[in-house]
Amino acid sequence: HRRFDYRPKTDPYCQARYTFCPTGSAIPVMKEEDVIEVYRLQAPVWEFKYGDLLGHLKIMHDAVGFKSSLTGKNYTMEWYELFQLGNCTFPHLRPGMDAPFWCNQGAACFYEGIDDAHWKANGTLVLVTTISGSMFNEMARWVKYDNETGIYYETWTVQASPDKNSTVWFDSYECSKFILRTYQKLADLGAVFKKIQTNYTSIILFSGEPVYLGNETSIFGPQGNKTLAAAIRNFYDPFKPHQSVSEFFVDLFRIINRVILNHQFYLFYNLEYWFLPMKSPYLKIIYEEVPLPVASKASFGV
């Protein structure tokens, strides 16, 4: 996933249904000698329980919790879409604009408190490691860098087949990937993680080798490819970005129908368009184990 030099200003056209990070606060500087417990937080995205089909999908949201021994204060950190999931997955087709218009950014949100009832009752709240205050402060600096340079949310993982060692053409970039990067950073700083099973949700598309199509200017600009531009607009036409999570899944199944009928998918990734020659089983939602990281030998003594 490409890193960018800065986060672009959001366009006023992009309106969120729910405010992003409403109670967010700055990450505090911890005393170096503090001992901080790190918790794995995971719960189903509860909107999914409406409708039988969606209730059986293991669609989970991931976050990480911290508890300071010196102050007794709890904190939650997570990463999610600024304008909700539909906007990160589907563009707006705006009158008078040739190119699809994307309202797509994701970012970290940090706030005081852990909603114990939410995570415990519906999912997971489990201690995974303990770190020092100085490690926490190092992590906070890394979060700032990660947040300023990894700006676009990416819903889909795209791979060649369901096999374990299959080629991954494109990797998703969403809430769980941020949590995995955070754990890895803590491991690099010397954190030792407990041996517990940790699973994450992925939405995977299956495709032959992707074909690079170009960027917005080369496809939709004055010298662009009118036929290709029309095909991309046509592909995105049935999908509506402003929607609830349950409506998003109705659109997801619409996509599956089109993809299976036509064996094609147009992917917008890192500001570029790709054509995916889709193949069976086309799309899968999986909930699979990703182990907690092992501290690298070089990091001991940090």
**Chain centroid, CA 64 distance in Å:** 14
Indicate if 242 belongs to the active site.
no
Indicate if 175 belongs to the active site.
yes
Q: Can you tell me the distance from the alpha carbon of 127 to that of 124, in angstroms, rounded to the nearest whole number?
A: 10
Q: Which of 61, 88, 103, 109 is catalytic?
A: 61
Q: Can you tell me the distance from the alpha carbon of 132 to that of 150, in angstroms, rounded to the nearest whole number?
A: 26
Q: Which of 88, 103, 109, 175 is catalytic?
A: 175
Name the nearest CA neighbour of 34 among 64, 58, 70, 60.
70
Number of neighbours of residue 194 by Cβ within 10 angstroms: 13
Q: Can you tell me the distance from the alpha carbon of 39 to that of 96, in angstroms, rounded to the nearest whole number?
A: 49
- Which value, to the nearest 10 degrees, does the dihedral of the CA atoms of residues 49, 251, 62, 2 take? 180
> To which H or E segment does residue 120 belong?
helix 116-122
Catalytic residues: 61, 175
